[in-house]
Amino acid sequence: MDRDQLAQALMSTFLEELEGHVAALNRDLLAWEKAPAGSGQSRELLASLLRTVHSVKGASRAVSLGMVEAVCHRLEEVLLSVQRGQ
């Protein structure tokens, strides 16, 4: 497999996985919005959101999607601030 084929295969995998990640983010954000603030459920959902965003950030780096990586990094920062109570 040459470099271009590898890049295409990685991008194809990224796009397939992205659908699941976006669905998980939507599901968890909606549930987090309804969860009582500071509850165990709220903390678990926040942790799940952080894991998903971190996964997308790493995968986007692997396929050289700098803009997606930057957005994920910023979202991760915001979620970590919320987690710390800031």
| pLDDT score recorded for residue 10 | 92
Mapping DSSP to helix (H, G, I), strand (E, B) and coil, where does residue 84 land?
A: coil
pTM of the model: 0.90
Q: Enumerate long-range contacts of 59-63, CB under 8 Å, 24 or more apart.
A: 59/14, 59/17, 59/18, 60/14, 62/10, 62/14, 63/7, 63/10, 63/11, 63/14
Q: What percent of the chain has pLDDT over 70?
A: 100
| pLDDT score recorded for residue 86 | 76
pLDDT digits (tens, 9 = 90+) for 2-31: 888 998 999 999 999 999 999 999 999 999
| pLDDT score recorded for residue 1 | 76
Are residues 78 and 70 in contact, defined by beta-carbon separation less than 8 angstroms?
no
Q: Is the model's pLDDT at 37 over the cut of 90?
A: no
